């Protein structure tokens, strides 16, 4: 059996555009002699369309895409992720489904049973779970093909130590006699996820002795990035195809040959984070109608990396770097920024804030900072003046403003609300400072030259809002702080678990109480959408109250 992976990039609500992509992929699959073409979850409407799936006019018209897709399937079978109406009066109005269409005939739907409501997912808010005993087995070219939708594949009791659900819809399909298993997915990228999927698919294929076709969505929608990286495992659990990550892929493989396909993924996890950020910028800008972008370039590593990523995503000619020196900006920061702009080939301009700062500080009777933290109002006013300038340019030139703060800073509130947090997209909001350095070094190594000057990478981090200011005057060193933040956010570790891993107790509790302070939660909830690259990230998947009296207390 020849199977086509249709790993396409969809846009929420662009039903006509998504449908056109689906039909084009079906035509390409037919030209390649394919028997079966498989699309991602909710390919017709876009996954993460959220409460659009509750609007009555949207619900009333959810079946329209299939009217264009069904006639295109003459001579081939297509499995298409879509939504369909729940005709009963009870429950949610829609099912999350896979439509199985063969030779111009709709054979039926495989509805999603397990509806996730953790991290970035909230499926029970929009969808009704499949009824018990739902038919998920279909005849394709004489083979019994079992079809499951995303979460229905992710509950294998022989693979997961802890399971979220008692039932396993995939086991049920296999027990019905499936000879090939197809899983359609909208599985977002986070660190380690690509390898995890490979291990999970390979394990089940080998255990059940049947081939598995796992197709995943690709593309950025708001801060969520889907990496694709679709794969096919044969009945021995060998991965015979691993589709490229972070790009569309519509290609065909012979399922029965059991021969590894040369196309696939290259690079390690740092490279994957890099690619996720580039795709996140590109799709957020283009899907929201921006061709050009801008950012404030400080001479520090964060803004330097964002500039490099933006240039890769949208082309250097579409990136404007704005340098905004203050009385406390070092000469090196300005010259380093000039060198970076030359290396990237971006546009640049300089807008000094010194005169405006002096005027406002005098008008508001603010003491000028003589060392970091001595006059926070005066320090923050500099950042807010820069934010004002950047937003004015964004408005006047229709440029998407990219926020440059990293996760380490945002976690502990080392940022200025309405200043450096301004923007339409937080590029590094889920990237720890130590990861920022690693991505910058990997970028230079891959280029074989200093795109980001090593002076920027090596210099001690500083907000440069006061004389001789350094981040370490206010914070623990990032290599010390980041492992604590990683355990807290990504592993959901308790303070004592973090201490048990070898971290200083007093420091752990200090950091976590900074993270959870109401003032810092207030800042984070006003951030622009954040590109997510980790589990339990700062962003849509993390829900905390602003107003609270919780405080971590160290045990004896």
Q: Can you name the residues that pair with 145 across neighbouring β-strands?
A: 138, 180
Report the C-alpha gap between 447 and 308 in whole angstroms.
12
For residue 548, the tally of other CB atoms under 10 A from its CB is 11
pLDDT at 555: 63
Report the C-alpha gap between 236 and 228 in whole angstroms.
23
pLDDT at 158: 94
Q: What is the pLDDT of residues 317-341, one digit of tens each?
A: 999 999 999 999 888 889 999 999 9
Nearest to 4 by CA among 331, 199, 251: 251
Q: What is the pLDDT of residues 58-85, one digit of tens each?
A: 999 999 999 999 999 999 999 999 999 9
pLDDT at 556: 47
Q: What is the pLDDT of residues 489-503, one digit of tens each?
A: 999 999 999 999 999
Contacts of 177 (CB under 8 A, 6+ apart): 137, 144
pLDDT at 333: 87
| Catalytic site positions | 41, 112, 150
Distance, C-alpha 13 to centroid of its chain = 19
| pTM as predicted | 0.95
Q: In the numeric block, which tokens belong to residue 516?
A: 């959870």
Domains belonging to the chain, first-starting first, are: 2-257 (3.60.110.10), 273-474+519-524 (3.40.50.620)
* Longest Cα separation, the chain: 82
pLDDT at 48: 86
Report the C-alpha gap between 22 and 79 in whole angstroms.
10
pLDDT at 103: 96
Q: What is the pLDDT of residues 287-301, one digit of tens each?
A: 999 999 999 999 999
Between the two ends of the chain, the Cα-to-Cα distance in Å is: 64
Question: CA-based angle 504:507:511, to the nearest 5?
Answer: 135
pLDDT at 262: 64
Contact status, residue 108 vs residue 101, Cβ threshold 8 Å? no
Which residue stretches of the chain have pLDDT < 70?
261-264, 266, 555-556
């Amino acid at each position: 059996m020849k199977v086509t992976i249709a790993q396409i990039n969809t846009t929420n609500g662009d039903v006509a555009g998504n449908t056109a992509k689906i039909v084009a992929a079906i035509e390409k699959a037919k030209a390649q002699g394919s028997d079966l073409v498989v699309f991602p979850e909710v390919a017709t409407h876009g996954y993460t369309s959220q409460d659009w799936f509750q609007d009555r006019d949207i619900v009333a018209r959810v079946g329209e895409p299939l009217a264009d897709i069904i006639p295109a399937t003459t001579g081939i079978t297509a499995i298409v992720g879509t939504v369909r109406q729940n005709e009963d009066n009870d429950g949610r109005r829609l099912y999350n489904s896979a439509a199985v269409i063969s030779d111009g005939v709709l054979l039926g739907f495989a509805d999603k049973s397990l509806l996730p409501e953790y991290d970035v997912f909230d499926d029970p808010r929009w969808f009704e779970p499949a009824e018990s005993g739902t038919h998920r087995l279909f005849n394709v070219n004489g083979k019994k093909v079992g079809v499951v939708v995303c979460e229905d594949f992710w509950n294998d009791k022989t693979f997961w130590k802890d399971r979220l659900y008692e039932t396993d819809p995939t086991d049920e399909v296999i027990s019905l006699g499936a000879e090939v298993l197809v899983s359609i997915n909208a599985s977002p990228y986070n660190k380690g996820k690509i390898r995890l999927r490979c291990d999970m698919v390979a394990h089940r294929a080998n255990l059940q002795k049947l081939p598995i076709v796992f197709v995943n969505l690709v593309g950025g929608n708001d801060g969520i990035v889907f990496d694709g990286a679709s794969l096919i495992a044969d009945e021995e659990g060998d991965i015979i195809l691993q589709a490229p990550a972070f790009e569309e892929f519509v290609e065909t493989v012979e399922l029965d040959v059991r021969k590894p396909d040369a196309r696939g993924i290259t690079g390690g996890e740092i490279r994957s984070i890099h690619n996720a950020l580039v795709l996140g910028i590109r799709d957020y800008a283009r899907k929201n109608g921006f061709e050009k972008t801008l950012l404030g370039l400080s001479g520090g590593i964060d803004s330097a990396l964002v500039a490099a990523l933006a240039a890769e995503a949208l082309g250097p000619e579409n990136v404007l770097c704005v340098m905004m020196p203050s009385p406390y900006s070092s000469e090196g920061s300005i010259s380093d920024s000039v060198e970076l702009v030359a290396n990237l080939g971006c546009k640049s301009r300089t807008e000094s804030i010194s005169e405006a700062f002096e005027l406002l500080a005098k008008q508001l009777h603010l003491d000028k900072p003589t060392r970091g933290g001595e006059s926070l109002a005066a320090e923050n006013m500099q950042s807010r003046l820069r934010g004002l300038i950047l937003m004015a340019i964004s408005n006047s030139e229709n440029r998407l403003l990219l926020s440059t703060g990293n996760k380490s800073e945002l976690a502990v509130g080392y940022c200025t609300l309405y200043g450096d947090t301004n923007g339409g997209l937080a590029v590094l909001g889920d990237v720890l400072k130590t990861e920022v350095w690693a991505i910058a070094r990997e970028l230079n190594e891959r280029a074989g030259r200093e795109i980001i000057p090593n002076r920027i990478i090596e210099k001690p981090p500083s907000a440069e809002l006061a004389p001789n200011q350094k981040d370490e005057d206010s914070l623990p060193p990032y290599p010390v702080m980041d492992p604590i933040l990683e355990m807290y956010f990504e592993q959901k570790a308790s303070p004592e678990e973090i201490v048990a891993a070898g971290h200083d107790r007093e420091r752990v509790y200090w950091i976590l109480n900074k993270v959870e302070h109401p003032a810092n939660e207030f800042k984070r909830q006003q951030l622009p959408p954040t590109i997510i690259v980790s589990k339990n990230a700062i962003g849509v998947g993390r829900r905390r109250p602003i107003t609270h009296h919780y405080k971590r207390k160290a045990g004896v």
